[in-house]
Amino acid sequence: DSGVTQTPKHLITATGQRVTLRCSPRSGDLSVYWYQQSLDQGLQFLIQYYNGEERAKGNILERFSAQQFPDLHSELNLSSLELGDSALYFCASSANSGGSETQYFGPGTRLLVL
């Protein structure tokens, strides 16, 4: 158990809908990262938040957004969902602002868009 929690574990929705994925980092960790894992793209970095502020951005679609709250939990919002958004979404956390430090991953949310 990494100490990172994610909810829900599974999510099934329809195209055009909006969903919110939730992540709680390990106790004491200030950074939260979101990754997408799909069969054709592998594990791809989406976005990082550090202590409530956006820190780094990857190839995140404009339809996707995230935020980190004062209690350090984070939410990833996916809107106008398309079939291709079906994937595993992982949250990871690290102690500080990132860069050469270990990231610990949660169990993931499996999103299926029908």
Concatenated DSSP letters of 16-28:
T--EEEEEEPPTT
By CB under 8 A, is residue 98 in contact with other proteins? yes
Instruction: Pick the binder of other proteins from 65, 73, 86, 105 (CB under 8 A).
Output: 105
Q: Shortest CA distance to 72 belongs to which of 30, 107, 18, 34?
A: 30
Number of neighbours of residue 102 by Cβ within 10 angstroms: 8
Closer Cβ to other proteins, 10 or 14, answer by number: 10
Binding site for other proteins (CB under 8 A): 2, 4, 31, 33, 35, 42-45, 48, 50, 55-56, 58, 90, 92, 94, 97-108
